[in-house]
Structure 1
Amino acid sequence: MFTLIYLTTLGWNLGIIALISWDSCVHTPMHIFLSNLSLVDFGYSSAITPNVMTGLLIGNKVISYNGCATQLFFFVALATIENFPLASMAYEHHAAVCEPLHYSTTITSTICAYLVSGACICGFLTSSIGNMFSFSFCRSNIVHHFFYDISPLLVLSCSDIHITESEFFILGSLNAFFPFLVIFTSYFLIFITILKIHSVKGHQKAFSTSAIHLTAVSIFYGTIIFMYFQPSSSHSMDIDKMVSVFYPWSSPC
């Protein structure tokens, strides 16, 4: 099942990137953000899924320390980056629906390049700053999770993790809250604008451009909030394992 979902994810995202690259008619800001999101989703899923499938298929559930660190680095970086294309797409939808006459001056290729570059910088900078492999592990070497995530690894550390937990919470809050605020504000203004449209076709067109994006946003932020923004006392590794299945393979949305 995971193999099928993963192959669907790869085909979907690589297909989107190829179509947008080959067809010059769709070299628009919206499609630039979409291809960037597909590229991030491709890397995001590929950082986790192949190793998980190897463990499930051949029973090899062992990974080296450096392999674990590398996987976690790219997982955190790409998960952080994904926040920003989602926010950029919401902002682009807002400009298209609420300010169509100023769209060409508001959303330019230069602004798109800045947004994409800024997202990559924030992602890899966050992953570098929040390096949890700077402290020691002296407990069990069995990670109670499908892959190498922050919470199950912190459990295995014998160092003082309170400062590290605070760092991850602050970094995660900054990188998730600001894009989420942009998304929420953009769609709030979009819905207000839609309510002012008297045409039924206008309503349908406006909603159709936002429905898929809102679905992806809901799955992405819903799992992140549940996994990383709960009190430590409420955490259950078994439940976290089940919820974590949704976001490495949520890219087809």
Structure 2
Amino acid sequence: MTEENDTLVTEFILVRLYHYPQAQTAFFWFVLIVYIVTFIGNSLIVMLIVVNRQLNTPMYFFLSNLSFLDISYSSSTALQLLGKGFAKEPTISLSSCLAQGYVSIFLGITECLLLAVMAYDRFAAICKPLQYSLIMNGKVCIHLAAFSWVSAFLLTVIRQLVQPKHFCGHVINHFTCELQAVFKLACSDTSFSEPVNLVTALLVLVAPFIFIVVTYVLIGQAVLRIHSAQGRNKALSTCSSHLAVVSIFYGATMFIYLRPQSKSFSDKDKLISMFYVFITPMLNPLIYSLRNKDVQGALKRTIMRTLLC
């Protein structure tokens, strides 16, 4: 196909569960329920952190950023998916598809960097408790959060500038406009964009993950030096929620983006991508609320104030 004909591709068809029509309805309701839980849970976390002074700490400042990020991340894909949930061959325009893909990449990169920043916050709190308020003052927290968002935006722009612009096909074997699946349809030269994508993946996945691992090794050494069992349990409880989120998000994302790429997405790939697109944003508020006494206490106080008013 010539490049001139490639420009005629103006929309894509998303395969989704086309080969399993009997599962379409169940999948629609699954995504709807997951999205509602994600939106309500993360909105509740943000609201509790804003209205409770007890949660005005660096840890919860970053958690509110993470919750807002998860609302945006889930909304960027779920709303489009639900809008054409029962269409036999759901279509999306080329520009809308690429916009959705780049928004998801931007939010995904931001989450990678933000999880690394949250690990640094836990390191400062446990390994440098006497200097913690100085190390993680308000200005530093804002700068670290801004670094995550701005760096993710710049890396996304760089990726967008070098990505292929012409496509030989219009059928995307995925639920959403996952760029990994979209660019498998490219027929323009990808000899430059592929190394850029690899370098970006190393910067936003491998480097932050190594940083998190090293950080928690140092935290583990500091915890072992704590003599009281109560002190060790308190230190570990503040890290367990973050570790659970990191394990789920990085595990699924690294499986998709760091392994050798095949010519097309398999059904297993599509299901695994659901973890970092839908499952992780839903689990974040559940993990933090169920395992965090401060959040539980803030929720009880907010409910009591609401009932009294």
TM-score where L is the length of structure 1: 0.94
CA displacement at 1:167 relative to structure 2: 0.7
Number of residues of Structure 1 aligned to a counterpart in Structure 2: 253
CA displacement at 1:233 relative to structure 2: 4.7
In structure 1, give the amino acid aligned to 2:248: I
| Residues 235 and 61 of structure 1: CA distance in aligned 2, closer, same or farther (over 3 Å) | closer
In structure 2, give the amino acid aligned to 1:190: I
1:128 aligns with one of 136, 146, 157: 157
Between 243-252 and 131-140, the greater mean CA deviation after superposition: 131-140
1:154·1:161 contact (CA, 8 Å) conserved in 2? no
Task: Measure the CA separation in 1 of the matches of 2:123 and 2:224.
Answer: 14
In structure 1, give the amino acid aligned to 2:255: F
Between 108-117 and 232-241, the greater mean CA deviation after superposition: 232-241
Counterparts of 1:59-98 in structure 2, within 5 Å, are 59=88, 61-98=90-127
The answer to whether the aligner puts 1:169 opposite 2:190 as a matched pair is no
Q: Deviations over 1:179-235 (max 9, x none)?
A: 223211211111111122232222221221111110110111111110010012597
Counterpart of 1:31?
60
Counterpart of 1:241?
270
CA displacement at 1:119 relative to structure 2: 1.0
Q: Deviations over 1:143-196 (max 9, x none)?
A: 001111122112111112232111111012112233223211211111111122
CA displacement at 1:237 relative to structure 2: 2.4
CA RMSD of superposed structures (Å): 1.8
1:143 aligns with one of 167, 172, 176: 172
Counterparts of 1:100-119 in structure 2, within 5 Å, are 100-119=129-148
Counterparts of 1:174-189 in structure 2, within 5 Å, are 174-189=203-218
TM-score where L is the length of structure 2: 0.77
1:10 aligns with one of 19, 35, 39: 39
Q: Which runs of 5+ in 1 are unaligned?
A: none
CA displacement at 1:2 relative to structure 2: 1.5
Counterpart of 2:245?
216
Q: Deviations over 1:119-158 (max 9, x none)?
A: 1111111111101785343422110011111221121111
Q: Which runs of 5+ in 2 are unaligned?
A: 1-29, 285-309
1:131 is paired with a residue whose SS is: helix
In structure 1, give the amino acid aligned to 2:146: S
Identity %: 33
CA displacement at 1:32 relative to structure 2: 0.7
Counterpart of 2:222?
193
In structure 1, give the amino acid aligned to 2:181: P
The answer to whether the aligner puts 1:232 opposite 2:261 as a matched pair is yes
1:94·1:186 contact (CA, 8 Å) conserved in 2? yes
2:187 is paired with a residue whose SS is: coil
CA displacement at 1:82 relative to structure 2: 0.6
1:135·1:159 contact (CA, 8 Å) conserved in 2? yes
1:152·1:237 contact (CA, 8 Å) conserved in 2? no
| Residues 60 and 24 of structure 1: CA distance in aligned 2, closer, same or farther (over 3 Å) | farther
Task: Measure the CA separation in 2 of the matches of 1:40 and 1:14.
Answer: 11
1:13·1:41 contact (CA, 8 Å) conserved in 2? yes
CA displacement at 1:56 relative to structure 2: 2.5
2:162·2:192 contact (CA, 8 Å) conserved in 1? no
